[in-house]
Amino acid sequence: MNKEEMRIKEVLRRLKAAYPDAPPTYLHFSNPFEMLIATILSARATDVGVNKVTPVLFGKYPNPLKMAKANVEDLAQIIRSCGAYNRKATYIKDTSRMISEDFRGEVPETLEELITFPGVSRKTANVVLQTVYGIAEGIIVDTHIMRVTVRLHFSQYDKKPDKIEKDLMQLLPKDKWIDYARLIGAHGRQTCKASHPKCSSCSINNLCPSSELDN
């Protein structure tokens, strides 16, 4: 085990103690279909914002078949506050149709199949696989995880999630991929914020090259 592997292992150990109840996602869902649709809606939108509209959306269109038959203008109005609502309305309607017609109404369990859906990126697919099925085919790299990872110097590719993911997959054993996203994501939301990171109260400040404290 090299120095970077030892450092990332210690980072995860400390963050696990700091955020013992960190959830795998902050989106509300009750089944794989809801998780997939909510994740599509979360692109360039906050989890809080998505969680406000999904009860209405799923209350009216609770399954792929009903959402596939929905009027796209009605979908757009329901999800309007999530941004890019016309595009996202088309995405979720077409994705619902594909699930109904091509996957017998079931959300698939592989990354290769998930990314065939409109509006589903590799990150979106990883979120669904990890939070719903507990399957790690990659590492989730959202805004928070990207920021903290670059600050920790585990990757140099600022704002390039695909390259950051590759760096992390080489650095971490596969059985740590889900924990990394969960714990680093929690740290980014609660402590290592975009502006004014709380370095003085950070549990890994002496392991972070970007810490504002003297290491």
| pLDDT tens for each residue of 105-144 | 999 999 999 999 999 999 999 999 999 999 999 999 999 9
Q: How far apart are CA 61 and CA 54, in angstroms?
A: 10
Q: Do 3-20+139-207 and 32-133 share a fold? A: no
**pLDDT value at residue 215:** 45
Clarify whether 142 is annotated catalytic: yes
Tokens of 72: 């796209």
C-beta separation of 149 from 15 below 8 A: no
123 is catalytic: yes
Q: What is the pLDDT of residue 213?
A: 62
Lowest pLDDT segment from 136-140, 156-160, 198-202: 156-160
Q: What phi-psi label fits residue 138: left (phi over 0), alpha (psi between -120 and 50 degrees) or beta?
A: beta
Which residues 6+ apart lie within 8 Å of 20 measured at CB?
none
Q: How confident is the model at residue 158 (pLDDT cuts 50, 70, 90)?
A: confident
pLDDT at 108: 97
**Which of these, 11, 37, 71, 62, lies nearest to 209 by C-alpha position?**
11
Mean pLDDT of 11-32: 96
Tokens 């589903």 found at: 120
How far is the C-alpha of 98 from the C-alpha of 95, rounded, in Å? Answer: 5
pLDDT digits (tens, 9 = 90+) for 78-105: 999 999 999 999 999 999 999 999 999 9
pLDDT at 69: 97
Q: Looking at domain 3-20+139-207, which of 3.90.79.10, 3.20.20.450, 3.20.20.80, 1.10.1670.10 is its CATH number?
A: 1.10.1670.10
Q: Pick from 24, 150, 41: which is nearest to 85 by CA? A: 41
| CATH domain 32-133 topology | Endonuclease III; domain 1 (1.10.340)
Chain CA centroid to CA 191, Å: 18
Looking at residue 212, its pLDDT comes to: 80
pTM for this one?
Answer: 0.89
- What is the percent of the chain where pLDDT is above 70? 99
- pLDDT confidence tier of residue 1, bands split at 50, 70 and 90: confident
**Secondary element (H or E) of residue 150:** helix 143-151
Catalytic residue among 142, 162, 175, 214: 142
Q: Which two tokens stand for residue 36?
A: 């997939």
In this model, does residue 214 exceed pLDDT 60?
no
pLDDT digits (tens, 9 = 90+) for 177-189: 999 999 999 999 9
Question: Which pLDDT belongs to residue 159?
Answer: 82
Query: What does the alpha-carbon distance between residue 190 and residue 28 come to, in Å, rounded to a whole number?
Result: 19
**Angstrom distance (rounded) from CA 83 to CA 105:** 27
Catalytic residue among 123, 179, 198, 214: 123
Burial class of 145 by CB neighbour count within 10 A (0 to 12, 13 to 18, 19+): buried
Q: Where exactly are the structural domains of the chain?
A: 3-20+139-207, 32-133
